[in-house]
Amino acid sequence: MNPALHGRSYASASAVPQFNWEDPLGSRNLLTEEELAVSETAERYCQEQLLPRVLQAYRDEHYDPKILREMGELGLLGATINGYGCAGVSTVAGALITRAVERVDSGYRSSMSVQSSLVMGAIHDFGSAEQKEKYLPEMAQGKIIGAFGLTEPNHGSDPGSMEAIAREHPHKNGYYLLKGSKTWITNSPIADVLVVWAKLQATGKIRGFLVDRKTCPPGTLETPAIKNKTGLRASITGMIHLEDCPVPQENMLPEVEGLKGPFTCLNSARYGIALGVMGALEDCVARARAYALERRQFKGNPLAKYQLVQKKLADAATDAAYGTLAAIQVGRLKDQGKATPEMISMVKRQNCDRALHNARVLQEIFGGNAVSDEYGVGRHVANLYVTQTYEGQSDIHTLILGRAITGIQAFV
Amino acid sequence: MNPALHGRSYASASAVPQFNWEDPLGSRNLLTEEELAVSETAERYCQEQLLPRVLQAYRDEHYDPKILREMGELGLLGATINGYGCAGVSTVAGALITRAVERVDSGYRSSMSVQSSLVMGAIHDFGSAEQKEKYLPEMAQGKIIGAFGLTEPNHGSDPGSMEAIAREHPHKNGYYLLKGSKTWITNSPIADVLVVWAKLQATGKIRGFLVDRKTCPPGTLETPAIKNKTGLRASITGMIHLEDCPVPQENMLPEVEGLKGPFTCLNSARYGIALGVMGALEDCVARARAYALERRQFKGNPLAKYQLVQKKLADAATDAAYGTLAAIQVGRLKDQGKATPEMISMVKRQNCDRALHNARVLQEIFGGNAVSDEYGVGRHVANLYVTQTYEGQSDIHTLILGRAITGIQAFV
Amino acid sequence: MNPALHGRSYASASAVPQFNWEDPLGSRNLLTEEELAVSETAERYCQEQLLPRVLQAYRDEHYDPKILREMGELGLLGATINGYGCAGVSTVAGALITRAVERVDSGYRSSMSVQSSLVMGAIHDFGSAEQKEKYLPEMAQGKIIGAFGLTEPNHGSDPGSMEAIAREHPHKNGYYLLKGSKTWITNSPIADVLVVWAKLQATGKIRGFLVDRKTCPPGTLETPAIKNKTGLRASITGMIHLEDCPVPQENMLPEVEGLKGPFTCLNSARYGIALGVMGALEDCVARARAYALERRQFKGNPLAKYQLVQKKLADAATDAAYGTLAAIQVGRLKDQGKATPEMISMVKRQNCDRALHNARVLQEIFGGNAVSDEYGVGRHVANLYVTQTYEGQSDIHTLILGRAITGIQAFV
Amino acid sequence: MNPALHGRSYASASAVPQFNWEDPLGSRNLLTEEELAVSETAERYCQEQLLPRVLQAYRDEHYDPKILREMGELGLLGATINGYGCAGVSTVAGALITRAVERVDSGYRSSMSVQSSLVMGAIHDFGSAEQKEKYLPEMAQGKIIGAFGLTEPNHGSDPGSMEAIAREHPHKNGYYLLKGSKTWITNSPIADVLVVWAKLQATGKIRGFLVDRKTCPPGTLETPAIKNKTGLRASITGMIHLEDCPVPQENMLPEVEGLKGPFTCLNSARYGIALGVMGALEDCVARARAYALERRQFKGNPLAKYQLVQKKLADAATDAAYGTLAAIQVGRLKDQGKATPEMISMVKRQNCDRALHNARVLQEIFGGNAVSDEYGVGRHVANLYVTQTYEGQSDIHTLILGRAITGIQAFV
C-alpha cells in the first residue's frame, strides 16, 4: 500500500500539529526545498528592501528602476526560464516570488510581472535565438527594462480589434513602420525595449515586435506617463505612441502569429497574479490581526475579541488559504503540461476577486484609521481593485469560464 | 533539479490539455490509483443503486436500512480503518466515498458518516480490543447499525454542558445506569448500537458508552423518529431517551475521557462532510448546466447563452473546484499527522457554506420549475442547509477559527 | 411656511418616541385610518384563522377552498375594486391585506392574489359590463374561484412566445375553440373560472378568455394538480390542458389585446407580492428574535447576546423596513396614476430577493432546529424561493430595469 | 373616502407615466415646493461651482475655505435652524442640500455637515442666548468656520471613555483649563471656533466648550492637519491638541451634560449623511451609465448591452431609490418628533453600506480606466469608505440596532 495512505493511524503521531494562521491549510507542505528557499530569499528581500520604500513611493507616484536591478541580482527576474542566466525554477517557485513582492505592493509586483512573464516570456517563447541572446541575459539582471504593449485605448477587453498596424517600410528594406497607440502600459515610460503587438498590414495577422527605444528616431516613439492614478501608484504606467516608428524585420518575434502570442504571455502573467494577490491579502490579514489585537475599545477589550471582527479575519484567512492551494495546483499542472487557459482564468479571477473583497472587509477593522495611509491596508485595497481589472477583467473571465462550461459563448 | 520542476518548458507538451467542467482544476491528478478505484466503485454504486430510489424516499421520509448492507458489501463502511474487515484506505479515499454518496443525497451520506466516522471511528479509536472485535466487523458489513448520541435538546452547540449522566448501578455490580436525552440523532430509530456520551457521576468527566439495544430492558431506551423534517428526509433522524438504562462497565469506551472523545469522532466526520458536500454541489452544477443547455427562452436561445446564467455556473464550478482541492489537502495532512481540528473547521465551514450558497444560486436557473421535486436541486438546497448546521454550525466554526487566528475566544 | 416643515424644533417634542422593532422606520405613520383598519382586520383573521391550519396544510399539500370564502366574508378579495360588492380601498390597503396573509404563508397569499389581482383584476379592467356583473360579485365573496392561465411549459419567462391558440369554431357560430397547455397555475385544480390567454388564430394577437369550467364539455378542460412541490405547499397548483375547448365569444375579454392584458394584471399582482413578502420576512424576524431570546448556549447566554446573531436580525429588520417604505411609495404613485411597470419590477424584485436572502440568514439562528417544520422558518424560506421565481423571475426584472436605465434591451 | 384612495382607477390616467432612472421610485413626489426649490439651488451651485474644482482639490488634498462662504451666501449652512439668519427649512430640505453637495464629493459635504449639523447644531440646541447671537449669524454666512472635537485617538467608537478634561483654572476665576487630544477632526486646521467635548473634572460629566481660536494663548491650541489621507482628500482633517487651554465659563454650553450633547449633534449629522451618500451613489450610477453607453467592446456593442453590466446598474439604482425613500421618511418623522436615534442608525448604516458597495460594483464597469482619477468613480469609492466609518462605524450601528431589537447589548 502506498505509504502516503496509512489510513486511520494518524492518532499515533507523536507531536501535536499546530494551526498556523499565516498558512492555515499547510500549503508549505506542498513545496519543495528549492521552492521554499526561493520563497524565503524573495520574502526577505521584499520585507527588508521594498517595504521601507513603498509608503513614500506610493504617495509620490514614483517607481525607482533600481528595484529591477536589485531583483535581478537575486535571480528573481524571469526565474522560470532555463538558461540565459535565469534561475530555471518551477512555475510555483516563480509565483512564490510574485507573492513575496505583492505582499509589499501590487505595483512592485506588476512591474516585475511585466519584465518576467510578459516581456522575457514573450522573447523566450516566441523569439529567435538572436533575440534571446541579445535581451534575456541583461533583462534577467534588470539592466534592460521591458514593457508589453497590447491594450489599446478603445479595446481594453477585446485585443482582437486592435488598431495598431505594421506596414512594410516604403523605401527602407527589411524594415516595418509601426503606427498606433497603447495605453495602461506598465513600465512604458522607463522601458528600454517594448514588445508591441500590431497587425501586419500584409496579412492582417497580429505579430509581436521588439521596439528598442535607443534605435527609434526622435518623434517616432513616445511613452508619456499616466499620472494621478487611483491605484498601483508605486509602479509606473504610461502610454505608447508609435508614429511610423521603423523596426527592423529581425525584431519581429518569429515564432508566433495571431492572438496566441499575447495570450500565451498573459496566461503566464495571470498565473503569477493568482498567487501574487494572495500575498497582498495575507498582508492585509496580518495587518488587521495586529491592529485588532492592539486596538482597544469598550472596557479595554481588544477589537479581536469581537465576533464581528473575528468573522472578518476567519473569512479572509479561509479565502487566502483556498486561493493559495488552487494556485499551487494550477502551477503543478502547468509544469506537467496539463494546465489550460481556463484554469488560469479561474484562479486569476477568483483570487483577485476574493483578495479585493476580503481586503475591503478587513479594512473595516481599522475604522476611520484606515484613512491614514500609514496602515497600508487602503493601499492594498486600491491596488487590488486594479489587479481585478487588468489581464482580463473579472467579468471577462466569468464569460470565458461560462463558455468553457457550457460550450456557448456569451460575449454577444 | 527536481523533475517536477522543469520550468518554462510546458509549451512543448505534445497533447493540448482540455478543460473539464466536472473537475475544473484537475483534482484527479492528485489521487492515487487506489483512490481513483475506490471513487469509481462508490460513484457507480451510488448512481446506479441509490439515485433511482432517492426521490421517493425523500418524499416519504423513508430510509431503507438495506442501504448500509449494500455499502458494506462494497467495502464502503469504515473504509479508512485498518483491519476488522475494513478496507484501510487513505483519508482522502474515505472522503471520496462520502462525495459519491452525497452527490446523490446528503441524507444517505449522513447515515453512512454516522456509521463509519462517528460510531466505527469511536470504537476503533477509543474502544477495547473486545469492543472492536465484537462490533467492527459486523458494522463494516452493515449488519449492525450505529448511532452517535452527543447533541442534547438544550445544548446544540455546546456539548460541554451536557446533562446526560451515568451513575453506578445501586445494586448491580459492574453496571452503570444511563439517564438523559439526545436529539437530532441520525439513525437512532434503527440503530442496534448507540454510542452515548454522558457524564460519569463519580468524576464529572464525559465518557462514551456502547448502548446495545438488544440488551436494554424495556422502557429504558426509546428512540422515537423525528418526522416532518425540512431536509435530509432520505435519512432517518430521531431522539434517544435513556431512563436508567443499565450498561455493563465493559461497554464503556476505555481509552478516552472528556470532550476529546466526541470531538475526535466529529473531526473525522466533519472532514468527510467537507468533501462530501462538494459532491452535492457538483451534482447541482451538472443538473443546472444540463437544464440551461436544454431549456430555451426568448428567440429559442438556451438559457446557457445568458450572461447572468453563465455567471452562476462559473461561480459554482469555481467554488466546487476550490473546495475539492482544500479538502484533499487536509486529508493528506491528516494522514501525515499534520492536520489540526481548526483546519477541519475551516474546510467544513467553507465547503458547507459555499455548497449551500451556490446550490441556491444554481436553483435560480430552474426558475419556477425548481418547485417540482423531480429536478432534484431543491432537495440538495434543503439538505445542504442542514449540513451547514450540524457537526458545528458555521458560526461556531467561525469563532473556532477566530480564536485560532487571534488567540482570543469570543463565544461569550 | 408649510406646517410640516418646522425645522430644528423637534427637540421640544414632549413624549420621547420609541423604536419599534416591528416597524423600525415608522411606516404606520404613512397609513390612513382606513388602511390601518383594513390591515388590522386582515391581520387578526390571518393570525387567528389561518395560522393554526398552515403547518398541517403545508405538510399535506392541502388547500382548503373555504379559505377564500372566509376572506370574501371579510371583504379581503378584490379589495381595491370599486363596486361589485368590493371594498374599493386604496392600492396600499390592498397590499396590506397581502402582507397580512403572507405573514402566515406565501401560498395562502398566492391563492388570494390570483383571485383578487389576476382574475378579478382582469375582468374588472378588461371585461365587458356583463362579465363584470356575472363574475365579480361572487368572486368577491369567494364563491367563485378563479385561476389565471398565462405561463406555458416551454415559455416561462417569455409569454410572448405562447403556443395556446383560439380558433373560430368550425361550425358553431360565436364560439372559439381553445387549445394549449398552461402550467404552474395557482388554483387551477379548484378553479370555477379560468382566465386563459391565447393567440387568436385570425389575428395572431393574444386575447383573454374566461373559461367557465361548468360549461366545458368533458375532455376539453383538464386541470391536474402538480404534487410534491418544494414550496408553496399550502396552495394548490396545477396545469391547464385545453383540448379544443369551446368558449363563447362573449367570454373573450373585449377591452384588451396583446401582452398588455396579462401584463397589466401581473403588474397588479406583482405589486401585491412586493408588500406581501415583507410580511413573510417580518414573521421570520419575529420568530428568529423570539428563538434567539429564549434559546441559551454557552454559560446560559441567550443567542440574542451574540454579535453574529444580532447582525442577522439587524440586517433583516433593515431590509424589511426599507422594502415596506418602497412598496408603500409605489402604491401611492399607483393610485395617482404615476406608477410605471418598471417601478413595480423594482419593488417586486428587490423585496422578493431581500425577503428570501434574509429569511435564509435568519434560519441560521435556529441551527439544526430549523429542520423541524414546527419553527416555521423553513417553510417561509421554501415559499420565498418561489415568490422570487414567479411573476417575473428576478433576473428577468433585472433586465427590465437594465433596459429602462440604459435604453438597451439585453434579453438575448 | 380619502381622495388619495381612489382604488383601481389608475388605468384611466391620461398621460402615461415614464420611468426616470435618476429617480426610479418617484421620490420627488414626496417633496414640497420649497424643498424642490432648495434642492435645485443647491444642485445648481454644486454642479456649477464645486464640480469644476474637485478633481484638482482632491489630488492636492486642498480645501478652500471660501467654499463655506459661498454656501453661506446661498443659505445652505445651518439651513434647518430658525432664526439667526438661517433658512429654517425642513429636515428633509436640509438633507437635500447634503445630497447635492455629496453628489460632487463627500469631503465637501463633510465640511458642510460639521459646520451646519455639528457646530451650529450644538450651539443652537445647547448654547446660551449669547452664544447663539455671537456665533450663529456669522457661521450661517460661512465667515466663522467651526470644528467639532469629540473623537479621541484611543476611543474612536467609544466616546464615553474620553480622556479630555476641563478643570477649573487654579487662579483665573471663571475659567477652565482644557487638556486633551482629538483626532480625525474635519475642518480643525482652519476652524475659528471648535466645539470641544471634555469631562468636567469636578463632576466627571462630559460638557461642551466653545474654544475660540483667536482667544487661545500661544501653545495652548494646536490643530495640525492630517495629510496623505486615502479618502475625503477634498476636505481638510486634523487633530486638536489642547494644552491647558483657558476657556471662559461662558463658553461652556449650558444646556446639556453627558453624552446626550454630542450624540444629539451626531444624530443630526448622521441623518444628513444618510441622504448625502445617496447623492454620491447617484453620481456613480450616472457616470457608470454614461460610460457604459459610450464605451464599446466586442463587435462595437456598448457595454450597456451586457447583462452583467445591466445588473450592476439595476442593483445600484434600486439601492439608491430605496435609500432615498428611507431617508426622506426618517426626515419627516424627525420633524414630527417621532424619529428615534435607532432609526437614524438604521438609515445611516444602510445607506453608507449600500452606497459604498454599489459604488465599488459600478466601478467595475470602468475596468482599468477607473484607475484614472478623471472618471471620478474611484474618488467616490474612496470617500464612501470613510463615510461608512465615521459618525458610527457600521458595525457599531449594527450593535445599536441589535440592542434595539433584542433588548440586549452585545458591545461586550
Note the pLDDT tens digit of each residue in C138-174: 999 999 999 999 999 888 778 888 999 999 999 999 9
Are C308 and A311 a contacting pair at CB < 8 A?
Answer: yes
Q: Are B305 and A408 in contact (CB under 8 A)?
A: yes
Question: Is the pLDDT assigned to residue D11 strictly greater than 50?
Answer: no
C226/B contact by beta carbon, under 8 A: yes
Residue type, C71: M
With H, G, I as helix, E, B as strand and everything else as coil, classify residue B162. Answer: coil
Phi, psi at residue B227, to the nearest 5°?
A: -105, 175
pLDDT of B12 over the 50 cut:
no
Residue A93 CB partners (closer than 8 Å, separation 6+) = A34, A35, A38, A39, A79, A80, A87, B5
- CB within 8 Å: C17 and D338: yes
How far is C242 from C216, CA to CA, in rounded Å? 10
Provide the shortest C-alpha distance from residue C412 to chain B (in Å). Answer: 7
Tell me chain D's radius of gyration from C-alpha atoms: 22
pLDDT in tens, A77-120: 999 999 999 999 999 999 999 999 999 999 999 999 999 999 99
Give the closest of A368, A385, A395 to D156, CB-based.
A368
Name which of A373, A395, A401, A409 to mutate to probe chain D: the one with the most chain D Cβ atoms within 10 A of its Cβ.
A395
Q: Answer whether C228 sits within 8 Å of B59, measured CB to CB.
A: yes
What CA–CA distance (Å, rounded) separates B175 from C37? 67
For residue C391, indicate whether it is catalytic.
Answer: yes
Q: CB distance from A308 to chain C under 8 Å?
A: yes
Q: Confidence band (pLDDT; 50, 70, 90) for C300? A: confident
Please tell me the predicted confidence (pLDDT) of residue D158.
83
Asked if C308 and A306 come within 8 Å (Cβ–Cβ), the reply is no
Cα separation of A268 and A122, whole Å? Answer: 10
Mean pLDDT of chain D: 94
Provide the H-helix boundaries in C241-373: 260-294, 307-335, 341-365
Q: The domain C27-144: what is its CATH number?
A: 1.10.540.10
- Average pLDDT (D143-160) is 90
Tell me which chain A residue has its CA closest to the CA of residue C310. Answer: A308
Of A388, A135, D152, B410, the residue nearest C305 (C-alpha): B410
Mean pLDDT across the stretch B331-352? 97
Looking at the complex, does the CB of residue C262 fall below 8 Å from at least one CB of chain B?
A: no
Strand partners, A238: A185, A225
Of residues A310, A343, A398, nearest to B19 (C-beta): A343
Would the CA dihedral through B22, B24, B27, B28 be positive or negative? positive
Q: What is the CATH number of domain B147-257?
A: 2.40.110.10
Phi, psi angle pair for C140, to nearest 5°: -60, -30
Q: Give A335-358 as a 3 state SS string.
A: HCCCCCHHHHHHHHHHHHHHHHHH
D298 in reach of chain A (CB within 8 A): yes
Task: Give residue for cell 449633534.
Answer: D265
Torsion of CA B107, B109, B112, B114, to 10 degrees: -70
pLDDT at residue C375 above 90? yes
pLDDT of B9 > 70? The answer is no
| Residue C12 banded pLDDT, cuts 50, 70, 90 | very low
pTM confidence score: 0.95
C-alpha cell at A396: 471577462
C234 touches chain B (CB under 8 A): no
Strand, coil or helix: what is C332? helix
CB contact under 8 A, C157 and B297: yes
CB contact under 8 A, A308 and C308: yes
> What stretches of B237-335 show up as alpha helix (H) in DSSP?
260-294, 307-335
**Buried residues in D27-46 as b, exposed as e (16+ CB within 10 A):** beebbbebbeebbebbbebb
Q: What is the pLDDT of residue A11?
A: 42
- How many residue contacts between A and D have a Cβ separation below 8 Å? 135
C80 vs C89: CA distance, rounded Å:
5
Chain A residue with CA closest to C306: the answer is A307
Determine the angle formed by the axes of helices C341-365 and D307-335, rounding to 10 degrees: 80
Query: Domain limits of chain A?
Result: 27-144, 147-257, 260-406
C171–B contact, CB cutoff 8 A: no
- The torsion angles phi and psi of A150, rounded to 5 degrees, stand at -120, -55
C-alpha D117, offset from chain centre: 8
Which residues on B lie below 8 Å from D307 (Cβ)? 306-308
The CATH number of the structural domain formed by A260-406 is: 1.20.140.10
Distance of CA D3 to the CA centre of its chain: 38
C-alpha closest to that of A329 among D283, D136, B24: B24
- Give percent of chain A above pLDDT 90: 91
Q: Is D308 on the interface with B (CB under 8 A)?
A: yes
Predicted local confidence at residue A10, as pLDDT: 40
| % pLDDT > 90, chain D | 91
Q: Can you give the pLDDT at residue B5?
A: 40
- Report the percent of chain B where pLDDT is more than 90: 91
Q: What is the pLDDT of residues A17-42, one digit of tens each?
A: 999 999 999 999 999 999 999 999 99
Segment D292-347, tens digit of pLDDT: 999 998 778 999 999 999 999 999 999 999 999 999 999 999 999 999 999 999 99
Does the pLDDT at position C122 exceed 90? Answer: yes
The Cα of B386 is separated from the nearest Cα of chain C by a number of Å equal to 6
What is d(CA D235, CA C410) in angstroms, rounded to the nearest whole number? 41
D327, D321, D323: which is closest to D343 by C-alpha? Answer: D327
> Nearest to residue D217, comparing CAs of D187, D244, D197, D241?
D244
pLDDT digits 0-9 by tens, A352-410: 999 999 999 999 999 999 999 999 999 999 999 999 998 889 999 999 999 999 999 99
Chain B CB within 8 Å of residue D408 CB: no
Condensed to tens digits (0 to 9), the pLDDT of residues D248-274 reads 999 999 989 999 999 999 999 999 999
- Give the residue-averaged pLDDT of B11-24: 79
Contacts of residue D287 in chain A, CB cutoff 8 Å?
none
Query: Given its phi and psi angles, is residue A98 left (phi above 0), alpha (psi -120 to 50 degrees) or beta?
Result: alpha
Whole-number pLDDT of residue D391: 82
- Nearest beta carbon to residue A371 from set D371, D386, D398: D386
Instruction: Tell me how far apart the alpha carbons of residues C243 and C181 are, in angstroms, rounded to a whole number.
Output: 9
Indicate the DSSP class of residue C14: S
What is the 3-state secondary structure of C241-276? EEEEEEEEHHHECCCCCCCHHHHHHHHHHHHHHHHH
* Sign of the CA dihedral with C281 first, then C285, C290, and C291 last: positive
A88: distance to nearest CA of chain D, Å? Answer: 32
CB contact burial D78-92 (16+ within 10 A = b; e otherwise): bbbbeebbbbbbbbb
> For chain D, how many residues are written?
412
The reported pLDDT for the residue numbered D1 is 34
> A318 Cβ partners below 8 Å, 6+ apart?
A24, B346, B349, B350, B401
Q: What is the CA radius of gyration of chain B?
A: 22
Chain D interface test: which of B298, B308, B315, B412 (most D C-beta within 10 Å): B308
What φ, ψ does residue C254 adopt, rounded to 5°? -80, -25
| A295-299, B2-6, B210-214: least confidently modelled range | B2-6
Are A184 and D229 an interchain contact pair (Cβ–Cβ within 8 Å)? no
Residue C194 three-state SS: strand
With an 8 Å Cβ cutoff, are C382 and B230 in contact? yes
Predicted pLDDT of residue D74 = 97
- SS (HEC) of chain D: CCCCCCCCCHHHCCCCCCCCCCCCCCHHHHCCHHHHHHHHHHHHHHHHHHHHHHHHHHHHCCCCCHHHHHHHHCCCCCCCCEECCEECCCHHHHHHHHHHHHHHCHHHHHHHHHHHHHHHHHHHHHCCHHHHHHHHHHHHCCCCCEEEECCCCCCCCCHHHCCCEEEECCCCCCEEEEEEEEEEEECHHHCCEEEEEEEECCCCCEEEEEEEHHHCCCCCEECCECCCECCCCCCCEEEEEEEEEEEEHHHECCCCCCCHHHHHHHHHHHHHHHHHHHHHHHHHHHHHHHHHHHCEECCCEEHHHCHHHHHHHHHHHHHHHHHHHHHHHHHHHHHCCCCCHHHHHHHHHHHHHHHHHHHHHHHHHCHHHHHEHHHCHHHHHHHHHHHHHCCCCHHHHHHHHHHHHHCCCCCC
Name residues 351-380 of chain C within 8 A of B (Cβ): 360, 363-364, 367-374, 378-379
Nearest alpha carbon to residue B397 among B341, B332, B324: B341
Q: Which grid cell sits at C357? A: 436572502
Cβ–Cβ contact C397 with B under 8 A: no
Question: Of A376, A285, A391, which Cα lies nearest the Cα of A57?
Answer: A376
Segment A183-228, tens digit of pLDDT = 999 999 999 999 999 999 999 999 999 999 999 999 999 999 999 9
User: Does residue B349 belong to the interface with chain A, where contact is any CB pair within 8 Å?
Assistant: yes
Q: How many residues does chain A have?
A: 412
Contact partners of D by the rule of 3+ C-beta pairs under 8 A? A, B, C
Query: Which tens digits make up the pLDDT trace of C20-64?
Result: 999 999 999 999 999 999 999 999 999 999 999 999 999 999 999
User: Chain A residues with CB inside 8 Å of C307's CB?
Assistant: 306-308
Q: Among candidates B337, B356, B341, which has minimal Cα distance to B391?
A: B341
Residue C111: predicted pLDDT: 98
Q: Is B307 on the interface with D (CB under 8 A)?
A: yes
pLDDT score, position D3: 39
Nearest to D81 by CA among D143, D149, D32, D137: D137
pLDDT band at D398 (very low <50, low <70, confident <90, very high): very high
- Over residues A268-295, the mean pLDDT reads 97
